[in-house]
């Protein structure tokens, strides 16, 4: 029984940069679909919120006629309901393809996640003047 090494006595292999890079790739490969889904969803959510905000601002700017009676629009819940409606419209527009902002954001986020150490190390150092 003494010839069988115990768990604590097994020496661990030295960790090299190649080993850690391989481990990263294996972990990244397993989580790639989930990460891709998160990136796509985040980009679409951002575009949806942005479109909703733009639509709400446009509606407030152009929704009333100059010289119109402001007392007609004195409903206390009007602004909240219009905000909800514009966010819903923004979500629908994004779901139908949007205006391309989500695709651009997702493309950049995919580039950032594929670059090794891009987020952890920050921007590359500049050389020269």
Contact 75, 24 (CB under 8 A): no
Torsion 21-124-41-96 (CA) sign: negative
pLDDT higher than threshold 80 for residue 57: yes
Whole-angstrom Cα distance, residue 119 to residue 3?
A: 48
pLDDT higher than threshold 60 for residue 106: yes
- Among residues 37, 56, 49, which one has the least CA distance to residue 93? 49
For the chain, which residues make up each domain, given as ranges? 79-112
Q: List pLDDT tens digits, range 28-48.
A: 555 678 888 899 999 999 999
pLDDT higher than threshold 60 for residue 118: no
For the CA atoms of 66, 70, 76, 82, the dihedral, rounded to the nearest 10 degrees, stands at -20
Average of pLDDT values for 8-30?
Answer: 55
**Confidence band of 90 (pLDDT split at 50, 70, 90):** very high
């Amino acid at each position: 029984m003494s010839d069988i090494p115990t768990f604590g006595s097994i020496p661990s292999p030295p960790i090299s940069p190649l080993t850690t890079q391989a481990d990263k790739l294996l972990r990244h490969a397993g989580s790639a679909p989930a990460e891709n889904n998160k990136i796509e969803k985040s980009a679409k959510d951002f575009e949806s919120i942005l479109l909703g905000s733009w639509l709400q601002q446009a509606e407030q700017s152009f929704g009333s006629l100059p010289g119109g009676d402001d007392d007609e629009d004195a409903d206390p819940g009007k602004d909240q309901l219009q905000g909800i409606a514009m966010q819903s419209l923004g979500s629908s527009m994004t779901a139908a393809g949007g205006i391309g902002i989500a695709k651009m954001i997702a493309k950049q986020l995919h580039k950032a996640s594929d670059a090794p150490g891009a987020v952890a190390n920050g921007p590359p150092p500049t050389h020269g003047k």
